[in-house]
Structure 1
Amino acid sequence: MPRAALAGAAVAVLLLLLLAYPTTDSDSELKLAMAFALAPFPLSAVAAGLARLPHWPAFGLLAPFAMLGVAVIQPDYDVWVLSETLAFGMLIGIPVVVGFMLTALLSLLLSEKTARPAGGDTA
């Protein structure tokens, strides 16, 4: 689990750096929005592979969807935090890290379930 959180934090930092890319017109803003929508998939797979998480290709596919689910249900951080920059960082960073943690928990539960013997309890 700590490796999953660390990989999620790395992806969050990379996504925040991507959003810091300067845009000059509406066309470049559209390209940046499309890049931000698609970037979590390869970034998640690479980060999970570098963190040596089990089933790392599945992280590349499942973690961005978990991130999106957490982003939809998260609260508005402007009420809690005075700095708009910190609130924006939390708006991006928290769903990414929590999405990685949820995917790691799902991976752990599924691998634990498949590792049990088929015959049941032998004791």
Structure 2
Amino acid sequence: MIRDNLTVRLLLRSALAGSVAAVLLLLLLAWPVDDSESEVNLAIAVALAPFPLSMTAAWLARLPVWPLIGLMAPFAMLGVFVFQPDYDSWVSHQGLSFALSITIPVVSGFVFTAMLCKMLFGMMPSLTSEDARTDGDLT
């Protein structure tokens, strides 16, 4: 259960960053190619594009540990992409099925990575100004 407002804001920001990265990746995939050399270049660009897109989207969304989220989100995207179902039986349009197969892993990869970073780094005790004044004396 989500208990605090900061977690909800983190989820919404990470979903927004994932949505932006997914739209930009879909626009890159819609790029017209003419010959086989262009197809190879486009395949290389699509394979490497999630890394700078994730870093930029995490930075623009002001996610807490954005370098780590931006670096790890493409690997989470790949993990979701491998285990996702076939959307052809759910939707009738082939283009929508392709868009879902790209968008769902990207958005869920961002959300999974952001929540993992929240669990790992968000529960660490922080030194507040009141703790600093006691100099470690907890009595």
Whether these two folds match at TM > 0.5 is: yes
Which amino acid letter does the alignment assign opposite residue 72 of structure 1?
Answer: V
State the Cα RMSD in Å.
1.3
> Any gaps of 5 or more consecutive residues in structure 2?
1-10, 128-137
Match of 2:86 among 51, 57, 76: 76
Q: What secondary structure is seen at the aligned counterpart in 1 of 2:87?
A: coil
Q: Percent identity?
A: 59
Between structure 1 and structure 2, the one with the greater Rg is 2
The answer to whether 1:12 aligns with 2:22 is yes
- Taking structure 1 as the reference length, the TM-score comes to 0.92
Query: In the alignment, residue 63 of structure 2 is paired with which amino acid?
Result: L
Instruction: Tell me the number of residue pairs that the alignment of Structure 1 and Structure 2 aligns.
Output: 118
1:62 aligns to 2:63 (yes or no): no
1:107 partner SS? helix
Residues 1-123 of structure 1 aligned to structure 2 (within 5 Å): 1-115=11-125
CA distance in 2, matches of 1:55, 1:49: 9
- Over 4 Å off, 4+ runs: none
The residue identity in structure 2 corresponding to 1:79 is S
Structure of higher RCO (CA pairs closer than 8 Å, 6+ residues apart): 1
Q: TM-score, normalised by structure 2?
A: 0.82
- State the distance in 2 between where 1:30 and 1:21 align: 13
* Per-residue deviation, 1:116: 6.6
Consecutive unaligned residues of structure 1, counting only runs of 5 or more, are none
What are the Cα deviations for residues 58-100 of structure 1, in whole angstroms up to 9, with x where unaligned?
1221000000000000000011100011100000000000000
Deviation of 1:114 (Å): 2.0
